[in-house]
Amino acid sequence: MREIVFDTETTGFKFSEGDRLVEIGCVEMVGRVETGRTFHAYYNPQRPMPADAERVHGLSDAFLRDKPLFADGVAELLDFVGDAPLIAHNASFDFGFINGELMQAGHSAICQRTRMIDTLQIARTRHPGAKHTLDALCARFGIDRSHRVLHGALLDAQLLAQVYVELMGGRQIGLGLGEAAPAAGAAPVVADVRRPVRPMRVFTVPEGDVAAHAAFMKGIPDSLWGPSIEGAVASG
């Protein structure tokens, strides 16, 4: 199954209050494995960047001034996303901005009911009472985030892709290699991993090697292996 893990950076918290999307990063996964295909874009928000927001992601007015408008790059984004499920952390926030920008650009909104997967809700269900920030989940699962100095949409999407896999059971979900992965929220499928019984392999050690090892062991005072080695040589 093809899925898209994504993250956004914005000028603030609410599209309905005039905030805008300024960056999006998407990571393609097939069967819960990253394919290496990504999408990344910056957008000119056509409004000043608040200082508080700039401190979070480092995107300044000067940097964004020559970037395209969302409406000018929306076709490439929609082509990459296709009809795949969209995975985000606190996904209602990201969907609010994407759908706000889409509708403002004359496109239909993406259905949250059928296509949204929220890793924050999954984490709260799997680990109640724990911290559920992206940083906290990376720490829980041993995911390296040392290169994350500021928030960045593509970097955060790449980290979230690893977190999502761990939340859904790890790299070998149910050990069912090649089988369809369970749907979001479903219990992992445990595959039948029994293997055919193979005959015991017999290894023959040359007599000279056994004797040489026994001689070496005799040089070790009070060796625990000395008597058994001598016996093995004598019986050989």
Note whether 185 and 122 are within 8 A (CB).
Answer: yes
Note whether 3 and 91 are within 8 A (CB).
Answer: no
What distance in Å separates the CA atoms of residue 228 and residue 107, rounded to the nearest whole number?
80
What distance in Å separates the CA atoms of residue 140 and residue 120, rounded to the nearest whole number?
14
Residue-wise pLDDT for 70-88, tens only, equals 999 999 999 999 999 999 9
Is 57 an active-site residue? no
Whole-structure pTM value: 0.71
Question: Catalytic residue among 57, 89, 132, 151, which?
Answer: 151
Q: What is the residue-averaged pLDDT of the chain?
A: 85
Residue 174 has pLDDT above 50, yes or no: no
- Most confident of the following: 6-15, 170-179, 199-208: 6-15
Residue 31 has pLDDT above 60, yes or no: yes
Q: Where are the alpha helices (DSSP H) in the chain?
A: 51-57, 61-64, 70-81, 91-104, 112-115, 119-126, 134-141, 153-167, 207-218, 226-235
| Cβ neighbours for 92, distance < 8 A, ≥ 6 positions apart | 112, 116, 118
| Both tokens assigned to 21 | 């999307």
- Domains of the chain and any CATH numbers: 2-175 (3.30.420.10), 195-236 (no CATH)
Q: Quick one: pLDDT at residue 230?
A: 52
| Both tokens assigned to 23 | 């960056």
Q: Quick one: pLDDT at residue 149?
A: 58
What distance in Å separates the CA atoms of residue 183 and residue 181, rounded to the nearest whole number?
7
Sign of CA dihedral 14, 18, 24, 26: positive
Residue-wise pLDDT for 192-236, tens only, equals 434 455 566 666 778 788 888 778 877 777 666 555 545 554 555
Tokens 């001689």, located at residue: 215
